[in-house]
Structure 1
Amino acid sequence: MSALYITVTLVTAFFTGSAAVFYLIGHEYPKSQADMKGIPRRYVPVLGSLLAAGTAGLLLGFAVPLLGTVAAACLVLYFTGALIAHLRVGSRNLVGWAVFFVTVVADLVTNVSYHWV
C-alpha cells in the first residue's frame, strides 16, 4: 500500500472523525456554527453522523477500496454543502472549512490515483 495514500487517509479520518465527535457529543462550537448558518440545532447530530459515516468509510476503504472512494467523494460533497451554507449567510470565515475541504479533496485524489488509475 502506498505510504502517501495511507498517510492522507489517516489524517483525513482523524480530522473528520474529530469533527464528528464534537458534533455528536453536543459541543457548543457546532451548535454556534449551526445557529450562525441558520441551521436548526436538531440537525447537528445528523451532520455529526454523516461525518462519522464518512470517517468509517475512509477507514473501511483500506479493505474495500470502492467504499473508501465513495466515502471520500461524499465528504467532498458534505464540505461543498458547508461552503454553500457559509456563503448563504455571508460568512467569510472560511479557514476551518478550507482545511477540511483541502484534506478531503486530497484524500479523494490520492484514493482515486492509488486504486483506480
Structure 2
Amino acid sequence: RSPIHEAALAGHVGCLAVLLDTLGDSILESQNPVPSPCLAAQSRVGTEDNRARQCAAQGLGDTPLLCAIRMGKGRAIEYLISRGARLDKPNVSGTTPVLVAARRESE
C-alpha cells in the first residue's frame, strides 16, 4: 500500500498536500498494486463502496485520483485535479477516473 493512495481513499487533503509537496507531483500517476487494508474497515455498505473494496482487493492499479473518486471524497478529488492528476489515466483494467465519476453520477 502507498501512503498517497491511503490518503486519497480517506480523503485527507492535508496528507495529500504534504506527500505531494515532499515527493513531487509525479506520484499522482503512481498505481497501487496491492489491496488497501483501510477499505476492509469501512463500515458503509453501498454499491460503490463494495465495488471499491473489490477493485482494491484485486490490486487493479488505481491512481490516487481514481481511489478518491471511488470513495466519493470530493475535496480530495478537487485537490488532486488542481495538482495535475490526469482524468484519463486508466488502471490496469482500463477504467479511468472519468468513467468512474460518470457511473457515480448516474446512480
Question: TM-score category by the smaller chain?
Answer: 0.3 to 0.5
TM-score by length of 1: 0.31
In our comparison, the structure showing a higher alpha carbon Rg is 1
TM-score by length of 2: 0.33
Higher relative helix content: 1
